[in-house]
């Protein structure tokens, strides 16, 4: 098994090799470390992060962007991240349903993965899996995050271009998100622009952006379900400069931090931790902080 894993060379012309490599990395199987160390990047493949609140139509937008990129003769890989239930540790992994028109296309590779307890919009393994796709030689890698709010600023540590998707109904949410997501977005998409007050919302968004950013950040209006405005977004993706030199160091630091964080937490089994807490809760004097203090070393070695 070890020898077989070492010989996995992800290649965008062979989706099976890509799928096997991703499975090894996602499940941290034996040899995954060697596989990552041997990754070779023959081309500069941009990673495009699609983020935003739940219900903004991110999956539908990604589906339309895929179609638009395919008309340019490009080969696309997609990582669609779904939240993991904190109760049964399950995940629906249903994003591919919305991307069904491209699921069997020979130039499109789609992989769903669960957050597996990660608190932000990214799976702990997303960074490594994205690098596998980059090494495989795809022209673009699209990553659709869960959509959990300001914690999605972590996408800035992974994506070369970050697109924030909003809808006209967001309204006052702009005030709540501007201190976080507003700072990391390279472009804004007001999706479902056929709804009432879409123009007003887009104009207000432009005003807020101009007040808080020296750089001119574009705002696009789209109707992803019908393809309206998608070409403008695609043209931006194709022409936008990758991570600015002033941000590259910060972005790479964020990537390194997430990888180190994930590896240091590798010995913590969340299910066993839950079992230990369930047992401790039978004590009427249960105190979470005392529990952590008393059992810290045991928990870290579960």
Per-run averaged pLDDT (10 residues), the chain, 302 residues: 60 93 90 89 91 86 95 95 52 52 86 64 76 95 74 70 86 56 82 92 86 78 96 95 64 77 77 87 87 67 49
The three-state secondary structure class of 155 is helix
Q: What's the pLDDT at 21?
A: 95
Q: What's the pLDDT at 271?
A: 82
Q: What's the pLDDT at 130?
A: 92
Q: What's the pLDDT at 5?
A: 53
Count the neighbouring beta carbons within 10 Å of the beta carbon of residue 250: 13
Measured CA to CA in angstroms, residue 172 lies from 134, 166, 169, 177, 234 at distances of: 37, 12, 9, 9, 28
Question: Does an H or E element contain 219, and which?
Answer: strand 219-221
Rounded to 5°, angle at Cα 36 from 31 and 37? 100
CA 46 to chain centre: 14
Beta bridge partners of 82: 114
What would the two tokens of residue 262 be? 């994930």
What would the two tokens of residue 116 be? 């597996």
Count the neighbouring beta carbons within 10 Å of the beta carbon of residue 96: 16
Smallest Cα–Cα separation from 52: which of 184, 239, 194, 215? 184
Contacts of 240 (CB under 8 A, 6+ apart): 161, 186, 187
Sign of the dihedral defined by the CA atoms of residues 174, 177, 179, 182, in that order: negative
- Answer for the pair 45, 29: CB distance below 8 angstroms, yes or no: no
Q: What share of the chain is helix, strand, coil (3-state, %, to 5)?
A: 45, 15, 40
């Amino acid at each position: 098994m070890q020898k077989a894993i070492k010989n996995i060379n992800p290649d965008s012309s062979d989706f099976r090799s890509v799928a096997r490599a991703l499975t090894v990395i996602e499940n941290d199987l034996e040899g995954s470390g060697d596989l990552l160390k041997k990754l070779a990047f023959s081309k500069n493949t941009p990673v495009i992060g699609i983020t935003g609140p739940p219900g903004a139509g991110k999956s539908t937008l990604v589906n339309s962007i895929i179609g638009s990129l395919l008309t340019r003769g490009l080969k696309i890989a997609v990582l669609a991240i779904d939240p993991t239930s904190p109760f049964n540790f399950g995940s629906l992994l249903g994003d591919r349903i919305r991307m069904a028109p491209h699921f069997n296309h020979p130039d499109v590779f789609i992989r769903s993965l669960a957050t597996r307890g990660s608190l932000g919009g990214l799976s702990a393994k997303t960074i490594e899996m994205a690098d596998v796709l980059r090494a495989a030689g795809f022209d673009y890698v699209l990553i659709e995050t869960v959509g959990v709010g300001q914690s999605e600023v972590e996408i800035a540590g992974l994506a070369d271009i970050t697109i924030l998707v909003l809808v006209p109904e967001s309204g006052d949410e702009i005030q709540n998100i501007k201190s976080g997501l507003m700072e990391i977005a390279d472009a804004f998409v007001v999706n479902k622009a056929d709804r009432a007050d879409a123009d007003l919302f887009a104009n207000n968004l432009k005003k807020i952006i101009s007040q808080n950013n020296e750089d001119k950040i574009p705002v696009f209006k789209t109707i992803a379900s019908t393809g309206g405005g998608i070409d403008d977004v695609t043209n931006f993706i194709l022409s936008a400069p990758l991570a600015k030199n002033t941000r590259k160091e910060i972005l790479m630091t964020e990537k390194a931090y997430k990888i180190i964080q994930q590896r240091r937490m590798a010995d913590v089994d969340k299910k066993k931790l839950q079992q230990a807490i369930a047992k401790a809760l039978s004590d009427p004097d249960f105190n979470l902080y005392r529990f952590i203090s008393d059992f810290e070393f045991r928990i870290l070695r579960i």
